[in-house]
Copies of this chain bind each other. A is one copy, B any other.
Amino acid sequence: MKHFTPRRYKGTSGAAPGAAPGTAMPPRPRRPRLAEVARAAGVSAASVSRLMSGKARVAPATRQRIVAAAERLGFDLARGRQPRIIAFLLSNRNVLHPFHSAVLVGAEAYCAEHDYALLFLPYHYPAAAAAKSLSLPEILQNRRTVSGAIVAGTNSAALLERLTTQGLPWVALGNNILGAQGPCNGAVYFDDIGGAEQLTKYLIGLGHRRVGFAGNLRLPWYARRFQGYQAALAGAGLTPMLGEVHTREGEEMGYVAAKLLLQRSAPPTAIFAGDDSAARGVYLAARDCGLEIPRQLSVAGFNDTLEAAALHPKLTSVRVFTEELGKQLAETLLQRIERPDSPPAALALPTLLIQRESCGPAPLHRRLAAARGA
């Protein structure tokens, strides 16, 4: 530890040595010493030390006198205490999407309630890098400043291994971890597989038999949703319809995938877009094909970000409780920091299907319903 001993201002004069004699230097206030506080408060240095470290009880009266003296002298009783800071590691993302914004806000709120501050730390590394070859951001290289990390964005199991060998407590957002078999200890999940399954069942329930999926399966979040989608279809004896896409993600991906699906000889009557941005692309493709949503094509998204309600017609989507997710991540991490020996567990948050106006009965159903009505 550094001891910011201001020897240049030795003694009590307050004037810097070397000042021209006779010059009335404004007495630059020295950094106050613990011993001075003790003297001013009429207690021993040990008591002040004890109060500061919190390692032993101090009588209320004593405490009060010390606090008052410290205040008077401008002595920081918290100095030397390790800062309570955790890092929000956002891996391999170039922008902070509303999704992760909300996770960040939730995490910060929980941290603030527990007197921790949150460091926003974007970080890029190759997905295939081995644990040992990863060089963490400098501020994580020791536990001096940062007590732990929430690991969000897209990550590899290798990074988590690296953090473990570094001795830094962490919790990961489990859904976007590449190359992990099964649920990962120390991760918090949201149930996107279940949500996707529920959404797909809802579409099937509307009478759709040909339901397309717009997503790039090389990205873990799309892959997981595809999994739920597939499960629901299998349960109804239907086959998946996937647009083969090489665009990575977002609106463009959704547009291309939807176009490919709609060009088929037997096009889908509903499209499940891997996320709300992709759904925006699907909307564009539908417009291009002259298809009215939801009369001729049903569209659904995922994540229920602001975009979902901004689209016209409003998008049916699956809500992820992002702020809650952030809070859970923070809570789990703080527990691990404060009780390192407590058993790590994997936690999964539910998702919620939000029905809006972008999904309707399948065209055939509609015709049948109309016929029945007539």
Question: Which A residues fall within an 8 A CB radius of B?
Answer: 1-4, 52-53, 76, 78-81, 83, 85, 88, 95-98, 101-102, 104-105, 108-109, 112, 115, 117-122, 137-139, 142, 144-145, 280, 283, 287, 306-307, 310-312
A115 touches B138 (CB 8 A): yes
Count copies of this chain in the complex: 2
- CA of A139 to CA of B105 in the docked complex: distance in angstroms? 18
A2 touches B81 (CB 8 A): yes
Cβ–Cβ < 8 Å partners of A4 in chain B: 1
B85 touches A96 (CB 8 A): no
B119 touches A119 (CB 8 A): yes
Describe A's contact surface by its main secondary structure. Answer: mixed
A76 touches B142 (CB 8 A): yes
Cβ–Cβ < 8 Å partners of A97 in chain B: 101
A2 touches B121 (CB 8 A): no
B120 touches A118 (CB 8 A): yes
- Given A1-B79, A2-B52, A2-B80, 10 more A-B residue pairs with CB atoms under 8 Å apart are A85-B145, A95-B102, A96-B102, A98-B98, A101-B101, A104-B120, A105-B122, A112-B122, A119-B120, A307-B307
Give chain B nearest CB distance to A46 CB in angstroms: 14
Q: Which 6 A-B pairs have the closest CB atoms?
A: A2-B80, A96-B101, A120-B120, A1-B80, A83-B145, A1-B1
